[in-house]
Amino acid sequence: MQCQTVLPGTECTFWCKSGCSYTNGSCENVVADCEGCERIVEGTIGQVCSLAPSPTHKWANGLCNFATHRKVEVKIEDLKTNPLKASKKAAAGKKK
Ligand code: SF4
């Protein structure tokens, strides 16, 4: 159904016949970590997230998985291994 309070007219899974079913009956404002994210929208209570009703929870366990401004950096080290030798070493190790 469409939100009638924070983001009027926006489709929201938390809006039901009796109003907003989210905790305390409303979305929460974005947090400092959200600054720069493209998902921030202006609601009637100030800046809110267009995807997550509680940005605090999204950042509680580290990086928000919806964030557009920060990504997890994965470093892949270029290992120079001869696959044939590695296979022989592995086979030799199993014989013991
Ligand atoms: S997607 Fe995550 S980082 Fe972006 S505004 Fe929403 S809660 Fe904040």
Measure the CA–CA gap between 11 and 88, rounded to whole angstroms. Answer: 59
Q: Does some domain include residue 2?
A: no
Between 8-12, 65-69, 90-94, the lowest mean confidence (pLDDT) is in 90-94
Structural domain containing residue 39: 15-95
Q: Does some domain include residue 79?
A: yes
- Sign of the alpha-carbon dihedral angle for 18, 51, 43, 56: positive
Q: Does some domain include residue 10?
A: no
CB 54 within 8 A of CB 28: yes
Number of domains in the chain: 1
pLDDT (average), residues 53-72: 93
Band (62; pLDDT cuts 50, 70, 90):
very high
CB 15 within 8 A of CB 4: yes
Q: Does some domain include residue 47?
A: yes
Chain segment 64-85, per-residue pLDDT in tens: 999 999 887 778 877 777 888 8
pTM of the model: 0.74
Phi, psi of 43 (to 5 degrees): -110, 180
Ligand 1: lining residues by beta carbon, under 6 Å: 30, 34, 37, 39-40, 49, 51-52, 55, 58, 64, 66-67
Residue located nearest, by CA, to atom 6 of ligand 1 = 49
Chain segment 26-52, per-residue pLDDT in tens: 999 999 999 999 999 999 999 999 999
Q: Does some domain include residue 52?
A: yes
